[in-house]
Amino acid sequence: MFGLHAVEAALRNPARKVNRLVLTENAERRLVEALGAITHKIEQTTPRDLDRILGADTVHQGAMLETEELPEPEFAALAENAAGRPLLVLDQVTDPHNVGAILRSAAVFGAAGLVMTRRHSPPLNGVLAKSASGALELVPVALVQNLSRALDELKDAGFTVIGLDGTADAVIEETDWISRPIALVMGAEGKGLRELTQKNCDVLARITTDGALASLNVSNAAAVALHTAALARRKAP
């Protein structure tokens, strides 16, 4: 992992095991509060040395952390503990920058968690963590083998499964976000939701647009949809 926000959030997460921490002098000063009692594990370095380790085009901000993967939450437990907040489900969204940005929006707008498939999803590595700006430590991510089966399980558990589709007749502003738990399903950039995924949704809805461009990047669309859900929860009696 690299980048100040991603490394700081990981250091503050008691579930993270720190194997190696490499910091420049400036980064160490900026992370002093998050470091706590692990200062003995710090390897001091220079920006140039980190460029050599991570690649010259990596925006590491002087911080690199080697750590174990977080314990993976059980899919069933994630659904059970949603507590009225939406679950985000991604259908083959493979760009780690998009998934990282989606995680950040999920943390900002209070999503219960993120569900992805084990295949056709990006690894939860440094690139994704940097894009998530610390949200990887805050939003649980469950991986499932079969997305259609997972959606069926959510419906059996009482969820309404809403698929975001730019060609749908319904709009998210008029969608019921309150009466039942919600699973919001989003497809890959360009391809959108796969046909089988669409068939497994209870509702297909789109974001209302009013401009020359008719669609949003998947991470921006997630932010708009999650904000709509958050407003609906706030207005609920």
For the segment 197-211, what is each residue's pLDDT rounded down to a tens digit?
999 999 999 998 876
- The reply to whether 143 and 195 lie within a common domain is yes
Retrieve residue 116's tokens. Answer: 């992805």
- For residues 115 and 154, what is the distance between their CA atoms, to the nearest angstrom? 11
Contact between 212 and 91 under an 8 Å Cβ cutoff? The reply is no
In this prediction, residue 40 carries a pLDDT of 65
- The reply to whether 56 and 122 lie within a common domain is no
In this prediction, residue 211 carries a pLDDT of 66
In this prediction, residue 83 carries a pLDDT of 83
- The reply to whether 46 and 82 lie within a common domain is no
Retrieve residue 74's tokens. Answer: 């059980």
- The reply to whether 29 and 83 lie within a common domain is no
Q: Which residues contact 96 (CB under 8 A, 6 or more apart)?
A: 122, 123, 125, 127, 128, 131
Whole-angstrom CA distances from 36 to 8, 50, 160 are 11, 23, 43
Q: Which residues contact 102 (CB under 8 A, 6 or more apart)?
A: 88, 90, 93, 114, 186, 218, 219, 222
Pairing of strands 87-91, 113-117: parallel
CA-based end-to-end distance of the chain: 42
Q: Indicate the number of domains in the chain.
A: 2
Conformational region of residue 110, where left means phi above 0, alpha means psi within -120 to 50, and beta covers everything else:
left
Local structure of 130: helix, strand or coil:
helix
Instruction: Please give the single-letter amino acid code of residue 124.
Output: L
- The reply to whether 20 and 130 lie within a common domain is no
Regions of the chain with pLDDT less than 70:
37, 39-40, 211-214
42-45, strands of its sheet edge to edge: 42-45, 18-24, 63-67
- For residues 71 and 84, what is the distance between their CA atoms, to the nearest angstrom? 24
- The reply to whether 82 and 165 lie within a common domain is yes
- For residues 48 and 29, what is the distance between their CA atoms, to the nearest angstrom? 18
For the segment 145-158, what is each residue's pLDDT rounded down to a tens digit?
999 999 999 999 99
Q: Find where tokens 């949003």 sit.
A: 216
In this prediction, residue 156 carries a pLDDT of 95
Q: Which residues pair with 160 in a beta bridge?
A: 182
- The reply to whether 22 and 44 lie within a common domain is yes
In this prediction, residue 23 carries a pLDDT of 95
In this prediction, residue 39 carries a pLDDT of 66
- The reply to whether 128 and 173 lie within a common domain is yes
- The reply to whether 218 and 127 lie within a common domain is yes
- For residues 95 and 76, what is the distance between their CA atoms, to the nearest angstrom? 26
- The reply to whether 55 and 88 lie within a common domain is no
In this prediction, residue 208 carries a pLDDT of 87
- For residues 43 and 18, what is the distance between their CA atoms, to the nearest angstrom? 12
